[in-house]
């Protein structure tokens, strides 16, 4: 029912199409990740760094806290990349012609990923560089 007891067919139709099945919701999420993986090169770069962080963490025996910090930043960057892809696709759908406002929306979404990736890189360097230096010193001394 819509406002004041009146039936709102448009709202009711949208609600009836919404899936309440948890398994179906997971499938949609996996489909979205697979689409991004197939169509966006940056997600592949982020996943490569995720692998390097995991391997580096094992080699240098970083602490649990350091792992959790890295994991938090990995999740942030990858999540923002997924949101960026969604925004790009939605903007392309809503505005297929060149439009300065569409460019701003896409640029700002990309800037969010870039900013998070820069901060994640700084944090990663703060965690790994001391370990790398110590590793190198162990061979020199």
What per-residue confidence (pLDDT) applies to 128? 97
Write down the domain spans for the chain.
Answer: 1-39, 41-140
Sign of CA dihedral 90, 94, 99, 102: negative
Quote the CA–CA distance of 20 and 39 in Å, as a whole number: 28
Q: What is the pTM of this model?
A: 0.81
Which of 43, 27, 34 lies closest to 79, judged by CA?
43
Contact call for residues 109 and 88 (beta carbons, < 8 A): yes
Give every CB contact of residue 132 below 8 A, 6+ residues apart in sequence.
60
pLDDT at 80 over 80: yes
**Distance separating the N- and C-terminal Cα atoms of the chain:** 77
CATH, domain range 41-140: 1.10.287.3610
pLDDT digits (tens, 9 = 90+) for 100-122: 999 999 999 999 999 999 999 99
Contacts of 95-102 spanning 24+ positions with Cβ under 8 A? none
E-assigned strands of 45-117?
none
Looking at 12-26, 36-50, 119-133, which range is the least confident one? Answer: 12-26
pLDDT at 3 over 50: no
């Amino acid at each position: 029912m819509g406002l004041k007891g009146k039936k709102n067919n448009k709202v009711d139709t949208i609600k009836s199409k919404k899936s309440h099945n948890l398994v179906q919701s997971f499938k949609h999420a996996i489909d979205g990740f697979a689409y991004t993986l197939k169509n966006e090169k940056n997600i592949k770069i982020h996943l490569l760094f995720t692998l390097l962080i995991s391997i580096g963490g094992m080699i240098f025996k970083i602490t649990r806290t350091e792992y959790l910090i890295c994991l938090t930043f990995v999740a942030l960057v990858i999540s923002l990349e997924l949101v960026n892809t969604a925004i790009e696709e939605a903007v392309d759908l809503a505005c297929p012609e060149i439009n300065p406002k569409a460019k701003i929306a896409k640029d700002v979404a990309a800037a969010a990923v870039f900013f998070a990736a820069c901060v994640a890189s700084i944090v990663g360097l703060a965690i790994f560089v001391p370990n790398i230096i110590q590793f190198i010193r162990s061979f020199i001394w």
